[in-house]
Structure 1
Amino acid sequence: MKIDGEVATGLGKGSYFLSQEFYTKEFEKNLGFIPYPGTLNVIVSEEYLGEINKIKNECENLIKPDTEFGAVKYIEAILNDNVNGAIVFPAKTTHEKNYLEFICEKKLRDEYNLADGDIVSLEF
């Protein structure tokens, strides 16, 4: 599946969670990289929500929670045809359903000069 979406500012919570050793170790083990402590938030059209929810529900890639944090499902993804990473689906989130959170080892806003409103593609 390949979809376009709009870059948006998040709530800043991703940086806290992706700074936790529990998550970084699991992502490194399962994806081969330690994610930058933050997510790139991408708003997608609601027309894709059915397919995205199906992928999320069928996803078996899971980092199980420890005592303080929630579970996170993830699926490998590619941003703009050249950035390998993953889309994460935290069990506990305050984002709307049409927000996707992309992680990789780089700070994407700086590396690719991304700003709110820019259109990016995600393939997963």
Structure 2
Amino acid sequence: MMKINGLITSGSGKGEYFMSQDIYTSQFKDKLGFIPFKGTLNILIEKEDLDKIHSIKNKNSEVIKGSKGFGNVLLVEANLQDNVKGAIIFPAKTTHPEEFLEFVAAEGLRKSLHLRDGDSVTLNIKE
């Protein structure tokens, strides 16, 4: 597992809409074993870690296929804070800069882990 540290940050709010689409939820269930919470946890990482993220994304990602105007999404399994199973997702269509990672899990992590913008978190990413 590769460890990447980052800071919680607010996103655009669009993740909730996309994560609720049937085209995605059924495929996430098949690949991860759960239907993700309707929203993503946005984590800002250091630019120095981008090469590691690119390497993992290129080697270990799985594809969630989009259709009818919805783009494909790559995912890489990861854990947040050593104990929350989930995945980092890489939507083909995104407005975020590449140092913003989107993490999905079965529950709303801001509430369950009491996370706020600026809080430090660690991702353990499957290599």
- Report if TM-score (shorter chain) is over 0.5: yes
- Aligned residue for 1:67? 68
Q: In the alignment, residue 41 of structure 2 is paired with which amino acid?
A: L
Deviation at 1:68, TM superposition (A): 1.5
Which residue of the partner structure matches residue 25 of structure 1? 26
Q: Is contact 1:59-1:73 (8 Å) kept? A: no
Give the whole-Å Cα distance in 2 for the aligned partners of 1:89 and 1:60. 9
* One-letter amino acid of the counterpart of residue 87, structure 1: I
Conservation of the 8 A alpha-carbon contact between 1:73 and 1:88? yes
CA RMSD of aligned residues (A): 0.8
Structure 2 residue runs of 5 or longer lacking an equivalent are none
CA distance in 2, matches of 1:60, 1:119: 25
Instruction: Look up the SS of the partner of 2:71 in the other structure.
Output: coil
Range that drifts further, 24-33 or 55-64: 55-64
One-letter amino acid of the structure 1 residue matched with residue 27 of structure 2: E
Instruction: Give 2:45's aligned residue.
Output: 44
Partner amino acid, structure 2, of 1:34: I
Aligned residue for 1:111? 112
Q: Is the 8 A contact 2:78 2:124 kept in 1?
A: yes
Contact 2:88 2:102 (8 Å CA) reproduced: yes
**What secondary structure sits across from 2:88 in the alignment?**
strand
**Percent identity between the two aligned chains:** 50
Which amino acid is the alignment partner of residue 112 of structure 2?
A: E
Letter in 2 for 1:40: L
Cα distance in 1, alignment partners of residues 22 and 93 from structure 2:
18
**TM-score, normalization by structure 2:** 0.95
Structure 1 segments of 4 or more deviating over 3 A?
A: none
State the TM-score, normalizing by the size of structure 1: 0.97
For 1:60 and 1:120, how far apart are their aligned partners in 2?
22
2:85 and 2:105 in contact (8 A); partners too: yes
Number of equivalences: 124
